[in-house]
Chain A
């Protein structure tokens, strides 16, 4: 087979114009992959500066003012320009139409416009951060952000505002696509879990992001015109900002994690060669997380001065939202039980996700308990908690998904040994970085501090050492993925022997995806799929 003459979405046209004006969801996904990678390394560079600075108790690298700006940059870039978009705009864009048997998303031109909006917002936001930045933290609490902070608050907020429109457009596109473009026979309860998680994520995107938009608009208005929306001296209420901000930002963390859970739900059946355990339970728990997640925002404000009774309610609901997450963990483990487990790189990432997400989730219960939170809030315990979920969980799932679908997207196999080594190194480096932070938090080290008492130094140095290993480990895939584009083995249509419509077409797919619309008659995760054994060498 002369693969170089093969017509697929990559070889169709070569011009820059054909890439920048494409409406093909697969090419748009690659445009996003490039952007997301750049933002990930920008945010990572800020993290590296933080960890380098904290190896000495009095701070090793930066002035206190600069340190505040660096951790703000880390948070803003990682939250809005990496975690929120990452899986939906890259793997979601590429794989969702393929999984649905569709030729593209419902609104391809809107999809391209989303990318341009994302780039515009990201460039404005990052430019502001480089131009001197902001020192408010990614949470922009008032009245610091409105009245006292020096720096480019409005410009950063404008960047986030613009990228918010990108989020809304992407979510809208996915919801309509999943409703209207399913292939004949693909009933709702035949859809892969990844589709369900993208759907739930998109619902949150379209409902929560507009609230962030109005909050940021008011923040900018107040800062520019010195009105008193959030300023008590002028009749306003700073706590109102926190309510509005967290009404978006808590559901936002479910935007970040649900697609990762979807990826894991695809990988584990494939590499345990078993039908997923409790398909409907996983779906209902996905929906439950999305819904309950809108009602727990107050747990970010337990020490802010809200009433004890509302805090009790928010604490209770925060415990409730952990239940569907736990149900998913049990279902993944149930899928592994009596499965034929293959420890390829995607599976290593998925297994890492299950363990690290569980730790992160359980520690969430610590901080959801009112009395414990009084001691733990604003310490490194919280920092470790959310990094276990976002980095240990979400980034692992993202890497797992990229490795899983890499053959489909590029038509090449990555080198498996390197993939496994990177996965193990990431797991080790991650734990060394963040586990000491649980201990630091319990001992009382506050977060967002540029200096700390000397008795915390050992744990800080361990954490920074881990960060060095983690940084090196994250660079490995950059290396071997690039290598695979030129020297990797050609990928067959279904190298993993997995179920799902995306594996029924060539790797890489042709531009129009399906020559004829498929008709689906089988249940999902019907392992082993007929005539499809894993064809890659382990």
Chain B
């Protein structure tokens, strides 16, 4: 690992990289947080429409996806522990498992979206939910597509990063002396997982209980 000249030691460089990722995640909190705030405002104003719309979401796919992401976070965290011990073969395997689970998530999301579009749930002309608060239901689905779409973009970036770690593991880049990239990607992946847990709670659960 090549130490960059502005750092006084590898530990200094590692600390700085981790601090950078934590700060980046804080900006992501503001990004998704803005979205969650809008959702909460509209749910308050359009309680009826939001409740009607939630019924049309697929709890099966949503819950399955949640379990998949939680499993993937577990896998990658175990990979971080392996990296700290210098066990690059385990790190490689666990990274591939994480990436695979991430891809399954994205495929299931695509299937779910296809189902939603076929059921006329995409907002716009021809929206399928009527009733007293059709506008509220449509807003729910506007939020749904924007939020899950942005989350999917973050997932794709995450999968690419995890595959990059896998490639590095294969070339035996990481070990007890230097595994900061693994830790940094682990933070990002867990964060994207956390965002999904919040989305799952808001979209699939909160209108159903």
- A interface with B by C-beta (< 8 Å): 97, 102-108, 168, 172, 175-176, 179-181, 206-211, 213-215, 217-218, 221-222, 225-229, 234-237, 240, 244, 512, 517
Interface-located stretch among B34-42, B105-113, B195-203: B34-42
Report which of A97, A176, A214, A234 forms a contact with B23, defined as CB distance below 8 A. A176
**Contact status A108-B38, CB under 8 Å:** no
User: Residues 136-164 of chain B: 1 if any A CB is under 8 Å from the residue's CB, otherwise 0?
Assistant: 10110011001000100000000000000
Report which of A102, A208, A225 forms a contact with B124, defined as CB distance below 8 A. A225
**Contact status A235-B135, CB under 8 Å:** yes
Instruction: Please name all residues of chain A whose beta carbon is closer than 8 Å to the beta carbon of B74 when the two chains form the complex.
Output: none
Assembled-state Cα–Cα distance A335/B38 (Å): 47
**Contact status A108-B20, CB under 8 Å:** no
Given A168-B27, A207-B30, A221-B146: A234 and B6 interface contact (C-beta under 8 Å):
no
**Contact status A176-B16, CB under 8 Å:** yes
Q: How far is the CB of B14 from chain A (nearest CB, A)?
A: 11
**Contact status B34-A228, CB under 8 Å:** no
Assembled-state Cα–Cα distance A168/B138 (Å): 32
Q: How far is the CB of B100 from chain A (nearest CB, A)?
A: 29
Assembled-state Cα–Cα distance A236/B8 (Å): 54
Instruction: Please name all residues of chain B whose beta carbon is closer than 8 Å to the beta carbon of A222 when the two chains form the complex.
Output: 142
Instruction: Please name all residues of chain A whose beta carbon is closer than 8 Å to the beta carbon of B20 when the two chains form the complex.
Output: 106-107, 172, 176
Given A180-B16, A244-B34: A103 and B6 interface contact (C-beta under 8 Å):
yes
B102: interface (CB < 8 Å): no
**Contact status B4-A108, CB under 8 Å:** yes
B19: interface (CB < 8 Å): yes
**Contact status A225-B135, CB under 8 Å:** no
Instruction: Please name all residues of chain B whose beta carbon is closer than 8 Å to the beta carbon of A209 when the two chains form the complex.
Output: 27
Assembled-state Cα–Cα distance A176/B49 (Å): 44
Assembled-state Cα–Cα distance A79/B13 (Å): 35
B5: interface (CB < 8 Å): yes
**Contact status B49-A213, CB under 8 Å:** no
Instruction: Please name all residues of chain A whose beta carbon is closer than 8 Å to the beta carbon of B30 when the two chains form the complex.
Output: 206-208, 210-211
Assembled-state Cα–Cα distance A214/B37 (Å): 11
Q: Which residue of B lies closest to A222 (CB)?
A: B142
**Contact status B135-A228, CB under 8 Å:** yes
Q: Which residue of A lies closest to B147 (CB)?
A: A214
Q: Which of B6, B123, B124 has the most CB of A within 10 A?
A: B6
Q: Which of B41, B122, B124 has the most CB of A within 10 A?
A: B124
Instruction: Please name all residues of chain B whose beta carbon is closer than 8 Å to the beta carbon of A211 when the two chains form the complex.
Output: 30-31, 34
Assembled-state Cα–Cα distance A517/B5 (Å): 11
**Contact status A229-B34, CB under 8 Å:** no
- B interface with A by C-beta (< 8 Å): 4-8, 12, 15-16, 19-20, 23-24, 26-28, 30-32, 34-35, 38, 41, 45-46, 49, 122-125, 133-136, 138-139, 142-143, 146, 150
Assembled-state Cα–Cα distance A234/B142 (Å): 11
What total of A-B pairs shows CB separation below 8 Å?
A: 104
Instruction: Please name all residues of chain B whose beta carbon is closer than 8 Å to the beta carbon of A97 when the two chains form the complex.
Output: 6
Instruction: Please name all residues of chain A whose beta carbon is closer than 8 Å to the beta carbon of B16 when the two chains form the complex.
Output: 106, 176, 180-181
**Contact status B38-A240, CB under 8 Å:** yes
Assembled-state Cα–Cα distance A237/B49 (Å): 15
**Contact status B123-A228, CB under 8 Å:** yes
Assembled-state Cα–Cα distance A102/B5 (Å): 9
Given A108-B4, A210-B34: A229 and B23 interface contact (C-beta under 8 Å):
no
Assembled-state Cα–Cα distance A229/B37 (Å): 13
Q: How far is the CB of B104 from chain A (nearest CB, A)?
A: 26
Assembled-state Cα–Cα distance A208/B16 (Å): 23
Q: Which residue of B lies closest to A513 (CB)?
A: B6
Q: Which residue of A lies closest to B36 (CB)?
A: A214
Given A206-B27, A228-B138: A217 and B150 interface contact (C-beta under 8 Å):
yes
**Contact status B26-A207, CB under 8 Å:** yes
**Contact status A235-B28, CB under 8 Å:** no
**Contact status B23-A206, CB under 8 Å:** yes
**Contact status B135-A106, CB under 8 Å:** no
Instruction: Please name all residues of chain B whose beta carbon is closer than 8 Å to the beta carbon of A168 when the two chains form the complex.
Output: 27
Given A106-B20, A179-B19, A227-B124: A235 and B41 interface contact (C-beta under 8 Å):
no
Report which of A103, A218, A235, A237 forms a contact with B146, defined as CB distance below 8 A. A218
Instruction: Please name all residues of chain A whose beta carbon is closer than 8 Å to the beta carbon of B34 when the two chains form the complex.
Output: 210-211, 214-215, 244
Assembled-state Cα–Cα distance A222/B124 (Å): 10
**Contact status B19-A214, CB under 8 Å:** no
Extra 9 A-B pairs, beta carbons < 8 Å, given A181-B6, A214-B35, A240-B41: A102-B6, A176-B16, A181-B16, A211-B34, A214-B32, A225-B123, A227-B123, A228-B139, A229-B139
Instruction: Please name all residues of chain A whose beta carbon is closer than 8 Å to the beta carbon of B124 when the two chains form the complex.
Output: 225-227
**Contact status A217-B136, CB under 8 Å:** no
Report which of B8, B27, B125 forms a contact with A517, defined as CB distance below 8 A. B8
**Contact status A106-B26, CB under 8 Å:** no
Q: How far is the CB of B199 from chain A (nearest CB, A)?
A: 14
Instruction: Please name all residues of chain B whose beta carbon is closer than 8 Å to the beta carbon of A108 when the two chains form the complex.
Output: 4, 6
Q: How far is the CB of A186 from chain B (nearest CB, A)?
A: 13
Instruction: Please name all residues of chain A whose beta carbon is closer than 8 Å to the beta carbon of B150 when the two chains form the complex.
Output: 217
**Contact status A234-B135, CB under 8 Å:** yes
Query: Can you sample 14 A-B contacts with CB below 8 Å?
Result: A104-B5, A176-B20, A207-B30, A208-B30, A209-B27, A211-B30, A211-B34, A214-B35, A227-B139, A227-B142, A228-B138, A228-B139, A234-B139, A236-B135
Given A211-B34, A226-B125: A235 and B46 interface contact (C-beta under 8 Å):
yes
Instruction: Please name all residues of chain A whose beta carbon is closer than 8 Å to the beta carbon of B5 when the two chains form the complex.
Output: 103-104, 512
